[in-house]
């Protein structure tokens, strides 16, 4: 992938695509996101989730949902301040102390003590591609199951039938656009 093509697919400035191109290409190769169908689905999802490669850290309000991160044992947020410290980071938003620890164990990196590392292009792309791979999303992309992929990436996606609170229309538009270019 070239920065020019990534810029066109993501509908983002070339300078931003240049920043992300090598990290995304390496991560996609490592996790076999290597066909037009897989690439289109992956890039559409990360494009939406990151605001076209602009955000790799959850925007903190805190919103009502974000305040509920605090004290959530299912996320491993057991210490005061964990909710904010382990907010969503990366292109597919790793959230919660337990998830930072788990992805750190996979890569041999201490994201738990250095959460900001998930904001770097290398780790943001690598963690997203790893999530994609371990959740069987290549196979869903091969089958053209974009809705199922969207459900896995953002569990709130099902609200598309009553509105677009979780960006389904944007995801789908990016997907259709990426398919044409790839």
- Nearest Cα neighbor of 90 from 46, 133, 60, 27 is 46
Quote the pLDDT of residue 66. Answer: 87
> What string of DSSP letters covers 27-38?
HHHHTT--SHHH
* DSSP 8-state class, residue 76: T
Dist. CA 170–CA 49, nearest whole Å: 10
Quote the pLDDT of residue 156. Answer: 54
Quote the tokens at residue 171.
């995801």
110 backbone dihedrals φ, ψ, rounded to 5°: -85, 75
Residues of the chain falling short of pLDDT 70: 155-165
- In total, the chain counts a number of residues equal to 182
Asked whether the bond before 85 is cis by omega within 30 degrees of 0, the reply is no
Quote the pLDDT of residue 167. Answer: 83
Angle, CA 143 vertex, CA 138 and CA 148 arms, to 5° = 75
pTM of the model: 0.92
Quote the pLDDT of residue 155. Answer: 67
* DSSP 8-state class, residue 110: -
* DSSP 8-state class, residue 60: P
Contacts for 133 with CB less than 8 Å, ≥ 6 apart? 31, 32, 33
Dist. CA 8–CA 117, nearest whole Å: 27
- Nearest Cα neighbor of 40 from 182, 158, 171, 152 is 182
* DSSP 8-state class, residue 58: P
For the domain made up of 64-118, the CATH class stated in words is alpha beta
What are the sequence ranges of the domains in the chain?
Answer: 3-55+121-181, 64-118
């Amino acid at each position: 992938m070239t920065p020019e093509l990534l810029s066109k697919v993501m509908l983002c400035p070339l300078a931003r695509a240049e920043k992300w191109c090598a990290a995304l290409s390496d991560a996609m190769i490592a996790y076999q996101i290597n066909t037009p169908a897989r690439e289109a689905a992956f890039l559409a999802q990360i494009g939406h989730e990151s605001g076209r490669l602009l955000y790799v850290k959850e925007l903190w309000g805190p919103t009502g949902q974000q305040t509920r991160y605090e004290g959530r044992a299912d996320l491993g947020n057991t210490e005061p301040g964990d909710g904010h410290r382990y907010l969503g980071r990366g292109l597919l938003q790793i959230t919660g102390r337990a998830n930072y620890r788990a992805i750190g164990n996979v890569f041999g990196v201490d994201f738990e003590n250095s959460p900001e590392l998930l904001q770097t292009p290398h780790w943001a792309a690598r963690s997203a591609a790893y999530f994609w791979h371990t959740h069987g999303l290549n196979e869903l992309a091969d089958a053209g199951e974009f809705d199922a992929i969207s459900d896995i990436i953002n569990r709130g996606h099902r609200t598309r039938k009553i509105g677009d609170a979780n960006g389904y229309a944007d995801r789908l538009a990016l997907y259709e656009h990426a398919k044409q270019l790839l």
